[in-house]
């Protein structure tokens, strides 16, 4: 972008004022009602928007919700689904008092208008040949011996043990169906249910039961509530970081205020404008974007205001100082915004909707924040507000201390070859190490780890082998008779193979139900008894009209990569079994299986986004500086921080997750900023200085201090995201802070050394 165009904002304050007013009005419309300017999207119920998405980016309705709807339509029963899953813990449910307390809690819950039905161990489908219901819990007047026997029978019942009651008998599940007509607020499906159950059980002295809710619905609600709660909190954190760091750096109230104007406007405009594109529900857009834009806007503002203060101290007027500063750093600020937007824009190739939305939101944010910088800062410095902007110039943290750091540049330029080749070698080694990162994915990464819903889900992992379920689908040819014992035999073999895997919880199929029926012999030998099972129960696992049988098992939320070897062994075992039974096929299915098969897509997304962003940034810099050599030199200091962070993740045993892909790409866009400021100053100094090393030294004096201070700003900004209670935010903040810190080494150590040895001739 030409200096003449950028200079218009400094030369004509009215243009800057009109831009600020126009953008502010547009943003206010976005906050108030964006549909005044854009068409309203088709309304979708909140429950239909999934928390978890397939790796191809398409919505993946939860297995819980799907099975509930499918089961209801087919007239079958399900022991795995519920809009809300209440986890009840007690040392022993099978006592007279605890039985009364639990039944009272269930009765009170069923009496609530928002509760449609509850599946729990007392409502488990009967397995006796007469189809008569038999409650798992005896009458409270029964003897303790009867209770002890009932406990053993319940745990042994395949419909209860491992499904509705943990194997140790200390955790029970209440699968609650919700009547949405009577739901008025989120608490009706979460905290209200807990409180009602807790109060009902408390009526019985001597009971010690704990109640917690989890499941897809509560996690979706928590996810959205956390997003809304974090929206304003992290905006204020971002504003606080800007003001605090500006105060420390400039030590002048006017300079602090002017520096803060641009990022504050950038955040305000962005969060208003994204509402026109329905991007405000993305959790990263409301938590990470304010922090990110505060750092992007502040770093450009620091570079610009540092020059303005210097020129004002030399006696220039506010407008003259702003115009000269715009000529000196305006192009660099434009290039940094361009390359940062390229880094974010490369996320558009990702296969995940949340990542793509975040990338486009950041592109929009970087653009409007750049507009805020070039419009607001020159306008403020040209007005009455800028009359004292240079006060405290000599005592500013940047201006007063940069001279003390020149020894570092002398040290580097004495041995430039050693530093340059060390940088190249370290970058190469770190890249090779980072390529060993293993991809992974977890459901709980998206919600606060300390929330009751997350704790209950982790408890289900331990007690039941997981909340999420997957299936083995068995099919057979039409020439195999419906009453063939081989159907049950194949199912039984596969169920036994699943039970051999400790990470798979409670496999349940038609063979387990047949085995539980009275009589001796194997499941295949008792196959004729299958007709004695209640029809809804039988159809949940065996559909003769479709020639299909289903086995369900639970999967823990411990990272899908931990199941890679397990699923591969099961796949191989299924192949062995069906080879022994011609006419049969068997395959794994379910959301967890989908994520396992598509984990490679994380690596593809990362390599695609990073490689495309790197090439575009290289081309942009080569064109901007009219030098392929400078474009190539810029690659090492910009890849080094990413490679070093990736190597650190490998050594600390951190997997490569979706948030890691996002953080790597974002950091590439930010890390290149200081490189651009250094190279821009270097090319200017080369025009007036015949000595290459002297030009490098002067460049460091001109921008080195600002680079150090802006790095401090960025690291502090990323650190504020650690206040979030969400694991994904912690990963993003840690990776971001580490990458920016490594970027300072690349820009102030490796870059000067490479310029010294590769640019001795005129570039």
In a domain, 55, yes or no: no
Type and span of the H or E element at 248: helix 216-250
Type and span of the H or E element at 115: strand 115-119
Residue 401 near residue 705, CB atoms below 8 Å: yes
Beta strand ranges found along 607-650 (DSSP E)? none
In a domain, 67, yes or no: no
Residues 249 and 340 in one domain: yes
In a domain, 539, yes or no: yes
Residues 191 and 275 in one domain: no
pLDDT value of position 228: 63
Residue 292 near residue 298, CB atoms below 8 Å: no
In a domain, 70, yes or no: no
Q: pLDDT tens digit string along 613-630?
A: 778 778 888 888 888 888
Question: Given 188, 214, 240, which residue is the final one in a domain?
Answer: 214
Closest CA to 461 of 440, 438, 441, 442: 442
Q: Provide the 8-state DSSP code for 346.
A: G
In a domain, 53, yes or no: no
Residues 631 and 609 in one domain: yes
Residues 27 and 96 in one domain: no
pLDDT value of position 68: 38
Rounded CA-CA distance 574/270 in Å is: 52
Residue 373 near residue 298, CB atoms below 8 Å: no
- The number of angstroms, rounded, from the C-alpha of 321 to the middle of its chain's C-alpha atoms is 43
Residues 688 and 754 in one domain: yes
Query: For the chain, which ranges sit under pLDDT 50?
Result: 1, 43-76
Q: pLDDT tens digit string along 316-340?
A: 888 888 888 888 888 888 888 888 8
Residue 703, number of CB atoms within 10 A of its CB: 28
pLDDT value of position 44: 38
In a domain, 133, yes or no: yes
Residues 261 and 409 in one domain: no
Angle at 366 between CA 363 and CA 371, to 5 degrees: 130
Q: Which domain holds residue 94?
A: 83-214
pLDDT value of position 283: 67
Question: Given 537, 564, 595, which residue is the final one in a domain?
Answer: 595
Buried b / exposed e along 730-756 (16+ C-beta atoms within 10 A): bbbbbbbbbbbbbbbbbbbbbbbbbbb
Residues 314 and 239 in one domain: yes
Closest CA to 553 of 544, 565, 566, 543: 566
Q: Provide the 8-state DSSP code for 160.
A: T
In a domain, 165, yes or no: yes
In a domain, 341, yes or no: yes
Rounded CA-CA distance 440/649 in Å is: 13
Question: Given 579, 595, 611, which residue is the final one in a domain?
Answer: 595
Residues 562 and 620 in one domain: no
- Report the domain count for the chain: 4
pLDDT value of position 75: 39
CATH number, residue 368: 1.20.1640.10
């Amino acid at each position: 972008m030409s200096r003449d165009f950028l200079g218009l904002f400094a030369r004509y304050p009215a243009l800057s004022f009109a831009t600020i007013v126009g953008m502010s009005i547009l943003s206010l419309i976005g906050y108030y009602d964006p549909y005044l300017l854009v068409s309203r999207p088709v309304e979708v119920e909140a429950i239909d928007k999934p928390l978890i998405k397939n790796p191809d980016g398409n919505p993946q309705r939860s297995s819980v919700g799907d099975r509930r709807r499918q089961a209801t339509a087919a007239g079958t029963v399900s022991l795995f689904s519920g809009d809300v899953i209440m986890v009840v813990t007690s040392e022993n449910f099978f006592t007279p008092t605890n039985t009364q307390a639990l039944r009272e809690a269930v009765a009170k819950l069923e009496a609530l208008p928002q509760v449609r039905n509850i599946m729990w161990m007392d409502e488990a489908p009967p397995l006796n040949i007469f189809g008569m219901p038999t409650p798992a819990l005896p009458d409270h007047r029964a003897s303790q011996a009867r209770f002890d026997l009932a406990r053993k029978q319940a745990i042994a019942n395949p419909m209860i043990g491992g499904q509705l009651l943990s194997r140790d008998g200390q955790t029970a599940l209440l699968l609650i169906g919700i009547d949405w007509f009577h739901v008025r607020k989120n608490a009706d499906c979460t905290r209200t249910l807990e409180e009602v159950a807790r109060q009902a059980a408390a009526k019985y002295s001597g009971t010690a039961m704990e109640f917690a809710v989890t499941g897809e619905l509560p996690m979706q609600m928590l996810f959205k509530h956390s997003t809304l709660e974090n929206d304003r909190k992290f905006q204020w954190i971002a504003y606080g970081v800007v003001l605090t760091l500006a105060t420390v750096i400039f030590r002048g109230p006017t300079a602090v205020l002017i520096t803060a104007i641009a990022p504050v406007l950038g955040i305000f405009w962005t969060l208003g404008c994204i509402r026109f594109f329905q991007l405000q529900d993305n959790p990263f857009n409301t938590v990470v974007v304010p922090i990110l834009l505060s750092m992007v806007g502040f770093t450009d503002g620091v570079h610009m205001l540092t020059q303005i203060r210097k020129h004002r101290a030399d006696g220039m007027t506010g407008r003259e100082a702003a115009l000269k500063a715009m000529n000196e750093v305006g192009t660099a600020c434009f290039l940094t915004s361009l390359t940062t937007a390229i880094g974010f824009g490369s996320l558009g190739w990702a296969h995940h909707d949340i990542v793509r939305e975040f990338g486009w939101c950041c592109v929009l944010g970087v653009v409007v924040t750049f507009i805020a910088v070039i419009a607001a800062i020159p306008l403020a410095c040209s007005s009455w507000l800028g009359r004292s902007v240079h006060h405290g110039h000599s005592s500013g943290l940047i201006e007063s201390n940069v001279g003390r750091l020149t020894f570092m540049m002398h040290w580097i330029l004495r041995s430039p070859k050693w530093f340059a080749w060390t940088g190249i070698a370290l970058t190469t080694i770190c890249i090779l190490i980072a390529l060993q990162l293993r991809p992974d994915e977890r459901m709980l990464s998206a919600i606060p780890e300390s929330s009751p819903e997350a704790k209950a889900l982790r408890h289900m992992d331990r007690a039941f082998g997981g909340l999420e379920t997957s299936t083995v689908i068995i099919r057979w040819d039409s020439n195999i008779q419906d009453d063939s014992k081989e159907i049950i035999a194949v199912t039984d073999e596969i169920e036994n193979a699943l039970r051999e895997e400790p990470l798979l919880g409670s496999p349940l199929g038609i063979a387990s139900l047949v085995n539980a029926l009275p009589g001796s012999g194997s499941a295949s030998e008792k196959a004729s008894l299958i007709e004695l099972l209640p029809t809804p129960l039988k159809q949940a696992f065996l559909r003769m009209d479709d020639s299909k049988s289903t086995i369900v098992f639970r999967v823990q939320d411990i990272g899908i990569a931990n199941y890679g070897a397990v699923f591969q062994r099961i796949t191989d075992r299924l192949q062995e079994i069906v080879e022994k039974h011609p006419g049969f096929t068997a395959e794994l299915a379910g959301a967890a299986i989908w994520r396992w098969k598509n984990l490679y897509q994380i690596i593809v997304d990362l390599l695609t986004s990073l490689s495309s962003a790197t090439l575009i940034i290289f081309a942009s810099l080569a064109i901007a500086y009219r030098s392929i050599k400078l474009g190539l030199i810029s690659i090492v200091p910009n890849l080094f921080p990413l490679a070093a962070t990736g190597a650190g993740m490998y050594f600390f045993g951190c997997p490569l997750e979706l948030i890691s892909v996002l953080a790597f790409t974002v950091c590439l866009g930010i890390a290149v900023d200081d490189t651009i400021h250094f190279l821009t100053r270097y090319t200017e100094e080369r025009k007036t200085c015949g000595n290459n090393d002297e030009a490098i030294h002067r460049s460091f004096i001109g921008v080195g201090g600002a680079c150090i201070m802006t790095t401090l700003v960025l690291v502090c900004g990323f650190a504020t995201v650690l206040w979030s209670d969400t694991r994904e935010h912690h990963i993003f903040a840690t990776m971001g802070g580490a990458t920016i810190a490594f970027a300072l080494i690349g820009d102030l150590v490796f870059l000067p050394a490479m310029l010294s040895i590769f640019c001795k001739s005129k570039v």
